[in-house]
Amino acid sequence: MSAMSLSKPHCDFVALQILKIYKGLRTGSSILSALQDLFSVTWLNRSKVEKQLQVISVLQWVLSFLVLGVACSVILMYTFCTDCWLIAVLYFTWLVFDWNTPKKGGRRSQWVRNWAVWRYFRDYFPIQLVKTHNLLTSRNYIFGYHPHGIMGLGAFCNFSTEATGVSKKFPGIRPYLATLAGNFRMPVLREYLMSGGICPVNRDTIDYLLSKNGSGNAIIIVVGGAAESLSSMPGKNAVTLRNRKGFVKLALRHGADLVPIYSFGENEVYKQVIFEEGSWGRWVQKKFQKYIGFAPCIFHGRGLFSSDTWGLVPYSKPITTVVGEPITIPKLEHPTQQDIDLYHAMYMEALVKLFDQHKTKFGLPETEVLEVN
């Protein structure tokens, strides 16, 4: 039963309190007592209302992530066939002139980043951002976020909103969460993403932000990407990193410091059907990943009204994102493969060290080992 639903005893209780209030009005006796009793009924309990708001805030983001772009595209195409066709024409005309804005950092909105809905989103799990070292505003950074999880919930909450106080913990640093460039071809969705400081994860965008946008920029790249999401499951701490070196090359070309990040609990919020290597399911996933850029996962969380049912709402498991110590990177316009391998090895070592230093603080045993694939 939903926390907001009414059982017969609740209804009887409410009726009794209303009757007491009515008698109080007629006899002049105390009404305050009856009102206090009425608003103490379970379905009006503040903590339960807040929990429902938290669930709704998370669900709206999950639905936005999954269907907003497609839904807005369909609605806009349908608008062309109605009397409101001029609205669609004006939007598409503006879209042509605004097409390259995402590649230049977009249009972040502090108002959107500070929406109250993101605080409910944060408190649902809850999500926490842990700072271990200061960052210099005179430098640029590439943050490597691990693991991807199913949807990168910790990455979004920590770096695309102000719910966990990223701007206060790292004053003067502008975070840009990088995601699939295809999302920015979707009408309306692109505006929603840009308002949070989200940008396309492609070379043109990263080159612009690290060379033509001043200093104090931090680009958050979920290094494992779609491949890593396929192995996301509760109880598993594994990252896809050993052959991911493109972000290191970018860092060297721009002299941007590398910062490892590990998000404890990111893999715990959804359960996924894992297809074995060589199975038809894994073949389909890899084809999608190769040609479209994302891998379709079969996953589930809890239901909207009950944690005992299946649904799209993630499980409320704590997510703690730990930002590690920056690795100073020299600027090499034409880095050699040896340079890339050297700093990639340093990055992997730093990530494993970060995991080992903090794992016991967040519920993992001392014997837990980070699997680097």
Per-residue pLDDT of the chain (373 residues; tens, 9 = 90+): 344 444 455 555 545 555 554 455 445 445 555 545 545 555 557 778 888 899 999 999 999 988 998 999 999 999 989 998 999 999 999 999 999 999 998 999 999 999 999 999 999 999 999 999 999 999 999 999 999 999 999 999 999 999 999 999 999 999 999 998 989 999 999 999 999 999 999 999 999 999 999 999 999 999 998 788 888 889 999 999 999 999 999 999 999 999 999 999 999 999 988 777 778 777 887 777 777 666 777 888 998 887 788 899 999 999 999 999 999 999 999 999 999 999 999 999 999 999 999 999 998 999 999 999 9
Q: What is the pLDDT of residue 28?
A: 46
Question: Considering the domain boundaries, does residue 75 fall inside one?
Answer: yes
Residue 303 within any structural domain of the chain: yes
Where is 203: in which H helix or E strand?
helix 203-211
- For residue 86, what pLDDT is reported? 93
In a domain, 72, yes or no: yes
Which pLDDT does position 282 carry in this prediction?
Answer: 76
| Cα(288)–Cα(229) distance, integer angstroms | 13
- Phi first, then psi: give them for residue 204, nearest 5 degrees: -60, -45
pLDDT of residue 362: 92
Query: Where are the extended beta strands (E) located within 18-173?
Result: 127-131, 141-146
Distance, CA of 146 to CA of 153 (rounded, Å): 11
Does residue 35 lie in a domain region?
no
**Structure token digits, residue 99:** 């097409």
Number of domains in the chain: 1
Look up tokens 């990530």; give the residue. Answer: 351
For residue 326, which of 261, 230, 252 has the smallest C-alpha distance? 261
Residue type, 56: I
Residue 69 lies in a domain: yes
Asked if residue 83 is part of any domain, the answer here is: yes
What's the pLDDT at 21? 47
pLDDT at 11: 53
Quote the pLDDT of residue 12: 55
Write out the residue range of the structural domain in which residue 259 sits: 52-372
Tell me which residue of 135, 130, 274 sits closest to 215, measured CA to CA. 135
The pair of structure tokens assigned to 234 is: 């509760």
Q: Where are the beta strands (DSSP E) in the chain?
A: 127-131, 141-146, 174-179, 198-200, 217-222, 238-239, 257-264, 271-272, 299-302, 310-311, 319-323, 371-372
Q: Is residue 233 part of a domain?
A: yes
pLDDT at 23: 52
Query: In the prediction, which pLDDT does 37 show?
Result: 54
> What is residue 125's three-state secondary structure?
coil
Q: What is the pTM of this model?
A: 0.84
Q: Would 37 be classed as within a structural domain?
A: no
pLDDT in the model for residue 25? 46
